[in-house]
Structure 1
Amino acid sequence: MGTMQEDEGLGYGSSLPVPSVQEIVRADPKNIPEKYIKDVEDRPKASDNSQLSLHIPIIDLSLLANGDVAERRKLDVACKEWGFFQVINHKCDEAIPKMKESVAAFFDLPLTEKKKYAMAANDIQGYGQGYVVSEDQKLDWNDLLFLMTLPCNMRNVKYWPLTIPSFKESVDEYASEIQRVTDEIFKNLSLLMGKEENCVKELHKDMKQGIRMNYYPNCIRPDLVLGVSPHSDASSITLLVQEDEITALQIKHKGEWIPVRPIPNAIVVNVGDVLEAWSNGIYKSIEHRAVTNEERSRISIAAFVIPGNEAELNPVETMVDDDRSPRIYRNDVKYIDYIRYTLAKKMDGKLANIEYLKLGT
C-alpha cells in the first residue's frame, strides 16, 4: 500500500476532536447532550413529501455504458433538475456487501482501538467527526472514518485499521469499482457538455477519491438531532451506498426536504459544487442532510471524487453563451483554495459555499 509522509496532512484543513456519539449511546441510550440538540429552526420536521421520492431519477449504468442516447438524456435532466440520481445495474454487487461488512467491523471495535486511528490535529483523515471548527457549535449525531483511497500514493496507512481481516482488500475492491462507475458517468457528462469523452476527468487534473464511512447511532429523540447537517459537497460528484432498509437521507428539491427511499443495492449519486461551477450552473449541486432513527443504527459509505489541488474551477467554455448562459462563476479559483474555504466552516447549507465560486464575490 502506498503511503504519504505520516506527519503531513492533506493540507485541506482539520476538524476538532469531539466525543464518540456511538459511545454516548452505549453508555446511556436516553442521554442526548445539549451540544447535539439542534436549534428549533434546524430540527427535522415530519414531512409528507415521501411520495416525491418516487420521482427521483434512476439511471441504468449498463445503458449508459452501451451509449444509449435516451439514458444519457435522462442523466442530463437528472443533473439539471435534481442534482441527484440513483444508479442501478452498476455491477458492484459483490464489492458493496464486502465494504459494508468491513465498515461495520470497524465501528464494532472497542473505543480504545478506534482511537488509534483518530484524526490528527492537521488532518481530516481518520476517525472522528468532520466540519467541527468551534467548541460552541452544535454537533451532528454521527461518527466517521475518512480515508483517502485513490490514487494509492495518497493513502496514509496510519489511519487504516488493518487489524480487521480483509479491510484493505474490501476497500481496494470497492474503491476500484466506484472509480469504474465514476469514469462512465464522467464520460457521458463530457459528451453532454459538448466535449470529448475524457474532458470531465481531465478537468480534475490529479483526480483523487476519498471515502467517508459513517456510523449513525439510533437516537431516542430523532426530532431533536441530525445525523448530518444540511450541506452540499465540495466534490465534483459523490457516490453513496446506504442501508437498504432505512430511509434517512433527504435532499432539498424546490425548497422542500424529500426523503430518499433506498433502492436495494443502488448507488446514490449527487452533483457537487465543483461540477456546478464547471457547468456554469447548468448542473446543480444538491443540498442534503441525514436524519436519525429511533430504533436502529445505520451505516453509509460516501465516495467523494476530488480534483487535484491545482485544478481550476472556472466554467467549461461550451457551457457559456453570452446570450443564453452568460458566465456566472469565477475563473480564478483553484480547488485547494475552495476546499480549505469549505472546511474552515461548519456545515451550513449550500448557499455560502457556492457563492464563493460566483462572480462578484
Structure 2
Amino acid sequence: MSTGSSPPIVVPLVLELIKEKITEIPDRYIRTTNLDHVHHPIDDSTAEYNIPVIDIEALLSGEPVLADSESEKLHSACQDWGFFQVVNHGINSLLIEKLKSEIHKLFALPLEEKKKIWQEPGDMEGFGQQFVISNDQKLDWSDMFYITALPTRMRKPQLFAGISPLLREALEAYSLGLKNLTMILLGKMAIALKMDSNEMDELFSDCLQRMKLNYYPPCPKAEQVMGISPHSDAGALSIILQLNETEGLQIRKDGNWVPVKPIPGALVVNVGDMIE
C-alpha cells in the first residue's frame, strides 16, 4: 500500500540495537511527553473496567436464550467499549501454538535473511516500520513484518515465497480461521444494528485481510519509549493474537488507559473506524 508521495524511510530494526547491548536509548525512540498514563494505567480490578469477553460457542448456540444473551453482550461490548476478547472461537489451539512458534523464528532470522523480505520503496509490506516519513519522526520500540493475506490475488508473491514453508502453512490456515470468525462477528453485529446479515456478507465476504506481526524487544529504559503509538484502526475489525501472557496492550476507555489482561487461548477484537 502506497503511503503517498513520500516513500517510507528505512530505519534500523530495534532487535539489532539490542544485540549491540546498548545502555542508552537513541534519541529517535525517546518520547519527550509524560508517559505516566501509559506506564501506570488505571486499575482494572473493578467491574467497570473489565473488558468484555464473548463466548463464540454461546453466540452460535441453538438455545435461543443463551444465544440472545451473548448477542446482547456483543452489542454492548461494541457500543460501550469498541473492544472485547473472544473465547471458544473455533481456531485450533495447536495451530495457534504452531503459528506463535514460527513467528518467533521469523523475528530471530539473521539480518541478512530479513533483508530479503524488507519493505520496498513506497510499500509497507515486509520487515520495517509503518508510516516513517521523516528523519525527525519519533519511532516505536518495535519491529514489524506486514503482509497481505486475503484476497489471494493481492498477495505479494515474493513475501510469501520468502518466509519459511511452516510459517506460510500456519498463516494460510490461521487466515481462513480469522475470516470465518470475522464473518460470524459481523453477521451478529448486523443483526444488532437491524441490518440484513446478507448485506454484511456482501460488504465483507471478499474482505482485505492484512497481518501485522509485531515484536517488542526488551528495552533497557522502557519508561522512555513506547512499543506502539496510540492509534485507532481504520478497517472493520482488528483481531489481535498475543504471543504470550505479558501485559502490554492498552485500550482507551472514558479517557483512561485500561490494560488488556491476556486470557489463555483468547483473541482480542478491536472494532475499527469503518464499523464505528
TM-score of the aligned structures, taking structure 2 as reference length: 0.91
Identity among equivalent positions (%) equals 37
- The aligned residue for residue 26 of structure 2 is 33
Deviation at 1:98, TM superposition (A): 1.5
Q: Is the Cα–Cα contact under 8 Å of residues 29 and 141 in structure 2 kept in the other structure?
A: yes
Name the aligned partner's letter for residue 106 of structure 2. F
Identify if the C-alpha distance between structure 1 residues 134 and 118 changes in structure 2 by more than 3 Å, giving closer, same or farther: same
Distance 1:19 1:11 in 2: 21
- The aligned residue for residue 157 of structure 2 is 157
- Number of matched pairs: 267
Cα shift readout 1:234-275 (whole Å, capped 9, x = no counterpart): 111100000332000001100011111100110000111111
- The aligned residue for residue 39 of structure 2 is 45
- Give ranges in structure 1 of 5+ residues lacking alignment: 1-9, 277-361
Deviation at 1:167, TM superposition (A): 1.5
Q: 2:51 aligns with which of 49, 52, 56?
A: 56
Distance 1:140 1:21 in 2: 9
- The aligned residue for residue 143 of structure 2 is 143
- The aligned residue for residue 192 of structure 1 is 192
Deviation at 1:116, TM superposition (A): 0.9
Q: Is the Cα–Cα contact under 8 Å of residues 35 and 223 in structure 2 kept in the other structure?
A: no
The aligned runs of 1:235-274 (5 Å cut-off) are: 235-274=235-274
Q: Is the Cα–Cα contact under 8 Å of residues 142 and 217 in structure 1 kept in the other structure?
A: yes
Identify if the C-alpha distance between structure 1 residues 159 and 31 changes in structure 2 by more than 3 Å, giving closer, same or farther: farther
Distance 1:66 1:205 in 2: 23
Q: Is the Cα–Cα contact under 8 Å of residues 41 and 256 in structure 2 kept in the other structure?
A: no
TM-score of the aligned structures, taking structure 1 as reference length: 0.70
Whether 1:117 aligns to 2:111 is: no
Q: Is the Cα–Cα contact under 8 Å of residues 49 and 257 in structure 1 kept in the other structure?
A: no
Q: Is the Cα–Cα contact under 8 Å of residues 44 and 50 in structure 2 kept in the other structure?
A: no
Deviation at 1:223, TM superposition (A): 1.0
Distance 2:46 2:133 in 1: 35
- Bigger CA drift: 161-170 or 136-145? 161-170
- The aligned residue for residue 166 of structure 2 is 166
Name the aligned partner's letter for residue 24 of structure 1. L
Over the aligned positions, Cα root-mean-square deviation in angstroms equals: 1.8
Cα shift readout 1:21-72 (whole Å, capped 9, x = no counterpart): 0100111242310100012235633234232586110000111222601101
Distance 1:35 1:41 in 2: 16
Q: 2:15 aligns with which of 5, 12, 22?
A: 22
Q: Is the Cα–Cα contact under 8 Å of residues 25 and 31 in structure 1 kept in the other structure?
A: no
Distance 1:206 1:127 in 2: 26
Highest RCO, 1 vs 2 (Cα 8 Å, sep ≥ 6): 2
- Give ranges in structure 2 of 5+ residues lacking alignment: none
Distance 2:46 2:201 in 1: 32
- The aligned residue for residue 220 of structure 1 is 220
Deviation at 1:200, TM superposition (A): 2.4
- The aligned residue for residue 126 of structure 2 is 126
| Secondary structure of 1:66's aligned partner | coil
Looking at secondary structure, tell me which structure has more helix per residue.
2
